Amino acid sequence: MNYMLYFYTDIFGITAGAVGTMLLISRCFDGFNDPFMGIVADRTNTRWGKFRPYFVWMCIPLALFGWLTFTTPEMSAGGRIAWAYCTYIPLMVFYTAINIPYTALLGVISPNPVDRTTVSSIKFMFAFGAGILTSAFLMPMTLKLGKVDPAMKDTNPEAYLNAQQHGWSIAFAIIGVLVVLFWLITFFGTKERVKPPVNQKTNIKQDLKDLVRNKPWIILLLTTMSYVLFTAIRSTVAAHYFKYFVGEQQLWLPVTGTKLYIFEDLISYYNTVGQAASLIGVLMLPFIVKFLGQKTSFVVLMGISVVSTAFFYFLGPEAVIPMMLLQIVGSIGGGSVTALLWVMYADTADYSQWKNGRRATGLVFSASTMSQKGGWALAAFFVGWMLQLFGFVANKVQNAEVIGSLKDMMSIIPAAVGILSIVIILFYPISGKLLKTMEEDLAERKEKEDAELASSGGCCNG
C-alpha cells in the first residue's frame, strides 16, 4: 500500500485521478465482500477448522494476481486502466478470502485476553518484520532486477521506465513465491481452540442483527476507519512527497555515511525506520496495556502519532533527519495501536457471545476489515484527486500547488483525522473490569455446556 499510488502513476503510467477512482471502486467492491467472507468462514466446517483451510486454498491465486498487478503490459493508457481493474480487483478478492479467516483466527486461538494480546503482538512483530524487509529492499530490488541505469533517466527516459517496469514485475514474482511458503507455514503451525456455543444455530439474519447491536464493535469500527484513514493518507502520499518535495539530498545517514541520496534511497529509509519503530511499538504493547488498560493506551499512543505527524508541516525538504526521527516516534505509537485494535475486536466478539449467547467471530473481524479497506479507499481517492486537481504530472517538476498539497497530506490533514479517532474511542465501553467479568462468565458457561454434552453422551467441546 505504501507504493501503490506511486507505482500506478510513475511506473505503470496512468493518471493520479484514474488511480484514485480505480482504488476507491475496487476497494469498496471488495469491502462489501468482507462480511460475506466472514459469514462463509463462520459456516465452514472441516477437520482443519473453520479458518485455516483458506490459507491453503487461496495462497496461490493471491500470489499470482499479486504478480500480475505489478506487471506492466504493452498497452495504450485505456488498456492499462482496464488491466489495472482486471488484476487489482481479483487480487483484493483473494486477499479478502485469505485475510478474513487469518484475522478471525486471533479470536479462536485462545479465550484468554492476555494470551490474545501476546499472540497479537507476535503476529504484528512478524508482520512489521516483513514490512521492514519490504521497505528496505523493494525499491532497490526493482532497480537491481530491472538492471536500471540511473544515467538513462535523462539520456533515454523510455528505456529507463521500461527497465523499472521489468524490475517491479520480477520483484513481485519473487514475493509471490514467499507468500505461498509463509501461508503454508501458518496453516501447519496454528490450531483453532475456541468454538461457538454447542447449541448455537446457524442464522445469518440473527448474526447481522447481533452485530449492529454490538455497541463496542460499532465504536471500534468508526475508530478503525478514522485511524486507517490517518495512516493511509500519509502512507499513500509518502513516495510522492519524497520524490517531488524532498528530492535528492546530500547528507549523512547511519551505516552508509555522507553521500548524495536519491529518492529511492530516502523513501526506503523512511519506510524502513517506520516499520522498525512499529515493531518496537508492538513489542511494548503488552506492557503498556498492562499498565494503562486498552482504551487509555489507545489515547496515549494515538496522541503521540498525531503530534509527530503534525510537525511535518514545519519541515523543509532538507530536514531529512527530523523527518526520520518523527517517523520513528510516530510509528512506535502507530504500531502499538494497530496491534491493539485487533485485540479489542476479539473482545467485541466475546462481548456479543456474553450479551446475546451467540458467537460470529469471522463476521466480527470481516466487517472490521471492511472499515480498513474503506479507510484505504477514501485515502487513495482523496490523495489521487488532490494531486490531479492541483496539476500533478508524473516524472515532471511539480508546481507550487502540488508541493503544498503534498506537505498538507503528510501533516495537518492526517493529524486532524487522527484526533477524530481519539475522540471516538473515548466512548468505547469495555473496561478492564468488564473484560474480567466476561471472561469468567463465558468460562462458566463453557464448563456447563461441556458437562451437559458429556452427560448426554457427546464429547467435550475442547
Write out the DSSP string of 24-66. HHHHHHHHHHHHHHHHHHHT--BTTBSSTHHHHHHHHHHHHHH
Which three three-digit cell numbers place residue 382? Answer: 482523496
Q: What is the pLDDT of residue 458?
A: 53
Euclidean distance between CA atoms 404 and 400, whole angstroms: 6
Q: What is the pLDDT of residue 10?
A: 94
Q: How far is CA 250 from CA 169, 246, 258, in A?
A: 31, 11, 7
Among residues 79, 50, 338, the alpha carbon closest in space to that of 193 is found at: 50
Residue pointed to by grid coordinates 490459507: 55
Among residues 49, 438, 41, 363, the alpha carbon closest in space to that of 206 is found at: 363
Residue pointed to by grid coordinates 498525531: 306
Q: What is the pLDDT of residue 259?
A: 84
In the predicted model, residues of the chain with pLDDT beneath 70 are 31, 196-204, 207, 210, 254-256, 357-363, 365-368, 449-454, 456-462
One-letter amino acid at 435 equals L
Among residues 57, 45, 43, the alpha carbon closest in space to that of 97 is found at: 57
Among residues 368, 364, 160, 362, the alpha carbon closest in space to that of 264 is found at: 160
> Where along the chain do its domains lie?
4-193+202-450
Q: What is the pLDDT of residue 111?
A: 78
CA dihedral 144, 145, 151, 154 (to 10 degrees): -130
CATH architecture of 4-193+202-450: Up-down Bundle (1.20)
Q: What is the pLDDT of residue 453?
A: 62
Q: What is the pLDDT of residue 461?
A: 45
Q: What is the pLDDT of residue 333?
A: 92
Euclidean distance between CA atoms 121 and 113, whole angstroms: 12
pTM above 0.75, yes or no: yes
Euclidean distance between CA atoms 263 and 85, whole angstroms: 28
What does DSSP assign to residue 314?
G
